[in-house]
A and B are shown apart, each in its own frame.
Chain A
Amino acid sequence: MKADLRLYDYWPWRDRPRIVWPDGARLAFWVAPNIEFYELDPPTNPHRKPWPQPYPAVPGYSIRDYGNRVGHARQMALLDRYGIRGSVSLSAALCEHHPDIIAACVERDWEFFSHGIYNTRYTYGMSEAQEREMILDSMDTIERHTGRRPAGYLAPALSHSEHTLDLFAEAGGLYTCDLFHDDQPTPVRVRGGQRFISVPYSLEMNDTIAYVVNRIEPRRYGRILRDNFDRLYREGEASGTVMCIPTHNYQVACPHRLDALDRALDYITGHPGVWVATGREIAEYFLEHYFDAAVADIRLKEDTVRGA
């Protein structure tokens, strides 16, 4: 184990080169619905149990199935209302299990990025070759079913190895959602030297973190989303920021919770200067316009502080 994988350099929030998003926007906003498949009876990874209860884990399995059976269509209708195209964090096997969900998202020109094969199959314990095989399988599957090869990655159940991002960059990926170190895209160092970045995905705005880990009341979640937006929007005038709402159809689309997201989306999309985008669009725009400036600025500040 290492104290730090050195995936990115220190880059102070102050005095960065100014980012301006398309049409002069100051904030890039994206919504990332996780569409996941959890298996009822997966093999038990030696490093992490898939379910707290012995087989069959009815409560855990069935609420996640609720997300696909009931929640997805609700959330999709809500995003339609605000003209938001989702950037789907996809368990690739869902292409096979629930092709009707995939077809509805394709029809809306949503983005799909890889979230592994199943959310009950963890990276822990995999050899490098196995992890590469899993990543390529997920990318091939998504491309086959959606017509486009994914550009982004969020490791299944956020289970990583030391080489996860190296492998994804080598497979042709452009961006990762696995890092929570910044409110702007940043370069990520991978062993192959590819131009590869992190796009802010936000653990704090993630509905499952809010509802399950932090146990937040639905209306408070809605307020937190608006507060998060307000500050990023204000700071985005100096240099464009990114706000992401990562969702899970089994959390956010419950009848007592969807209104909180509804109000937040109404508030956010009601502001001028908000670029409603997808993860890939943000990544590509940053790579084309700001990646080199970011690398140069990071180096300049590093050199300055070291007196070089």
Chain B
Amino acid sequence: MALDRKFLTYERRAYGMDHERYAWSQLSGRAPVAWPGGAGLALWVNVCVQFYPLDQRGVPFAVPGGMTMPYPDLRHFSLRDYGNRVGIYRVLDALARYGIKASFAVNGAMVERAPFLMAALRDRGDEFVAHGWHMDALHHGGLSSDAERDLVARTLDTLRTASGQAVAGWLSPARNESPLTPELLAEHGVRWFADWVNDDMPYRFATSNGDLWAMPLSNELEDRFILMQNLHSETSWVEQVSDACDFLLGEAEQAGGRILALNIHPWLLGQPHRIGRLEQALEYVTGRPGIWSAAPGDILDAFVAGLPAQDAD
């Protein structure tokens, strides 16, 4: 018994990363960032507006949160749809109550499915983020480059038209990517994306079509991760958000501005028994001193404005 020689061969065993996407850099060694008004913490609330198709193909895997029962899985289909019909309006009220400037990561397919909601979001004036075509249209290496290019182009075109915005941010469904996804995003005018969860601050991400910015949108603090995957209580989600807020505010005092990124799903937190917990979390965070509630594009603008000129483009 023995393994092939390749298992004891290490081609990328050298300084830095084992790929060319970004440079190795510890957060602790970077220059401090200043947010507008001297805030310690930029609060980024991203609300996902998602369509989970009933005829889920599950390629290359069944999306978390998607259908799990034999067709037609009406329980999960309709429970996810609940978020776009009922839950989101509770979430919008909560955001308004606490003066939150949010972003909305929208599946392209939602534009046709819920024009009323699109108009409500457009009227709010918050930043639209492209969230792929729908939750079963995963970006993965099995797609041809043309098929993936079509997904990216169709999503961005649809959302740009519906929102009247340039739409420069991207979040892949399930944060999954093909080896080519970053190239295609850059090709279609995307400025930043939030699939990679390896930092608490923005950083430059290389593609053969020019750099993107990677924005930090924590998965570990996400409502879906904590409530649905870990089965923690709603109370615990509030505690975890509060603890993260306090920790990052403390770090900001020493090391410069930080970002508290909350990725939330109206089909979860928009439920009657959970919406109060979202309100509780927002009340806690917005009640702390030094919080700047901002859209991701604005956070990135402020971040880039503080960089030395040669790094800022």
What residues of chain A have their CB less than 8 Å away from a CB belonging to chain B? Answer: 37, 39-41, 43, 45-46, 52-56, 58-59, 61-66, 68-70, 72-74, 93, 96-101, 117-118, 121, 125-127, 129-130, 133-134, 215, 217-219, 254-259
Give Cα A56–Cα B205 distance, bound, in whole angstroms.
15
Tell me the chain B residues, 1-25 only, with Cβ under 8 Å from chain A: 1-4, 6-8, 10, 12-19, 24-25
Q: How far in angstroms is the closest Cβ of chain A from B104? A: 22
**Cβ of A117: which chain B residues have Cβ within 8 Å of it?**
10, 13
B243-A118 in contact (CB<8A): no
Note all chain A residues with C-beta closer than 8 A to B236: 217, 219
On whether A259 and B243 interact (CB within 8 A), knowing A41-B19, A45-B7, A56-B179, the answer reads: yes
A43 to B4, CA, bound (A): 10
Question: Once the chains are docked, how many angstroms separate the CA of A118 from the CA of B54?
Answer: 41
Residues of B within 8 A of A126 (CB): 1-3, 7
A97 near B15 (CB under 8 angstroms)? yes
A127 to chain B, nearest CB (A): 4
Is B2 in contact with A98, judged by CB distance below 8 angstroms? no
B244 located at the interface, meaning its Cβ lies under 8 Å from any Cβ of chain A in the complex: yes
Chain B residues whose C-beta falls within 8 Å of the C-beta of A62 in the assembled complex: 195-198
- Smallest CB–CB gap between A125 and chain B, Å? 5
The residue on B at minimum CB distance from A217 is B236
Choose from B177, B200, B232, B245 the contact partner of A56 (Cβ within 8 Å).
B177
Count A-B contacts at CB 8 Å. Answer: 159
Chain B interface residue bracket vs A: 35 or more
CA of A61 to CA of B176, assembled, Å? 12
Are A63 and B197 in touch, CB under 8 angstroms? Answer: yes
Listed by A's residue number, 7 A-B pairs whose Cβ atoms lie within 8 Å are: A40-B17, A55-B179, A59-B219, A65-B17, A73-B29, A93-B10, A217-B232
The answer to whether A259 touches B232, judged by C-beta atoms less than 8 angstroms apart, is no
Let me know if B98 is at the binding interface, CB within 8 A: no
Nearest to B142 among chain A residues (CB) is A54
Could you say which of A40, A129, A218 contacts B240, with CB atoms under 8 Å apart?
A218
| B142, B199, B246, B260: the one within 8 Å of A69 (CB) | B199
Q: A40-B18, A63-B197 are in contact. Are A255 and B247 (CB under 8 A)?
A: yes
- The CA-CA distance from A14 to B27 in the complex, in Å, is 49
Q: Could you tell me the distance in whole angstroms from the C-beta of A268 to the nearest C-beta in chain B?
A: 20
> Whose C-beta in chain A lies nearest to the C-beta of B214?
A62
Give CA–CA (A54, B197) in the complex, Å.
Answer: 17
B174 to chain A, nearest CB (A): 8
Is B26 a contact of A96 with CB atoms below 8 Å?
A: no
* Known A54-B141, A133-B8, A134-B8; contact A59-B198, beta-carbon cutoff 8 A: no
Tell me the interface secondary structure of chain B in the complex.
loop
A255 and B13 contact, Cβ closer than 8 Å, known pairs A73-B26, A126-B2:
no
Please name the residue on chain A nearest to B255 by beta carbon. Answer: A73
Q: A121-B7, A126-B2 are in contact. Are A69 and B247 (CB under 8 A)?
A: no
State whether the Cβ of B85 lies closer than 8 Å to any Cβ in chain A.
no
Q: Chain B residues near A219 (CB, 8 Å)?
A: 236, 239, 243
The reply to whether B197 and A96 form a contact with Cβ atoms under 8 Å apart is no
Contact: B220 with A254, CB < 8 Å?
Answer: yes
One of B15, B19, B60, B142 near A99 (C-beta < 8 A): B15
Cβ 8 A contact of B247, one of A53, A66, A118, A256? A256
A45 and B7 alpha carbons, distance in the complex (Å): 7
Which residues from A are CB-within-8-Å of B13?
93, 96-97, 117
The reply to whether A259 and B176 form a contact with Cβ atoms under 8 Å apart is no
Are A215 and B61 within 8 A (Cβ)?
Answer: no
Distance in angstroms between the alpha carbons of A93 and B8 in the assembled complex? 12
Option from A101, A134, A256 in Cβ contact (under 8 Å) with B26 = A101
Report if B28 contacts A (CB, 8 A): yes
Q: How far is the CA of A217 from the CA of B220 in the complex (A)?
A: 12
The smallest C-beta distance from B41 to any residue of chain A, in angstroms, reads 10
In the bound complex, what is the Cα–Cα distance between A93 and B10 (angstroms)? Answer: 9
B17: which A residues are within 8 A, CB to CB? 40, 65, 97
Contact residues in A for B309 (Cβ distance below 8 Å): none
Q: Are B27 and A73 in contact (CB under 8 A)?
A: yes
Contact of A70 among B18, B27, B246 (CB under 8 A): B27
Is B231 engaged at the interface, CB distance under 8 Å to the other chain? yes
User: Is the CB of B274 closer than 8 A to any CB of chain A?
Assistant: no
* A57 closest partner in B (C-beta): B176
B221 at the A interface (CB under 8 A)? yes
Q: Which residues of chain B have C-beta atoms less than 8 A from A96's C-beta?
A: 13-15
B230: Cβ under 8 A from any A Cβ: yes
Complex contact B175–A58 (CB within 8 A)? yes
With A62-B198, A93-B10 as given contacts, are A54 and B2 in contact (CB-CB < 8 Å)? no
Instruction: Out of B179, B196, B244, name the residue touching A255 (CB < 8 Å).
Output: B244
Tell whether B137 is near chain A: CB-to-CB under 8 Å.
no
A41 and B18 contact, Cβ closer than 8 Å, known pairs A215-B232, A256-B221, A259-B247:
yes
Contacts A66-B199, A97-B16, A117-B10; A215 near B231 (Cβ below 8 A):
yes
Whole-angstrom CA separation of A133 from B195 in the bound complex: 37
**Residues in A neighbouring B221, C-beta threshold 8 A:** 254-256
* Contacts A126-B2, A259-B247 given; does A97 touch B18 at CB 8 Å: yes
Q: Is the CB of A218 within 8 A of B243?
A: yes
Does chain A have a CB within 8 A of B248?
yes
**Complex interface: chain A residues within 8 A of B14 (CB):** 96-97
Residue of B nearest to A134 (CB): B8
B88 at the interface (CB under 8 A from A): no
Check if B186 is an interface residue, CB within 8 A of chain A. no
- Interface 1/0 per residue, B50-82 and A, CB below 8 Å: 000000000011000000000000000000000
Q: Which of A37, A45, A72, A97 contacts B3 (CB 8 A)?
A: A45
Q: A-B pairs with the 10 shortest C-beta distances?
A: A73-B28, A127-B2, A256-B244, A65-B198, A255-B244, A62-B198, A256-B240, A62-B196, A215-B230, A255-B247
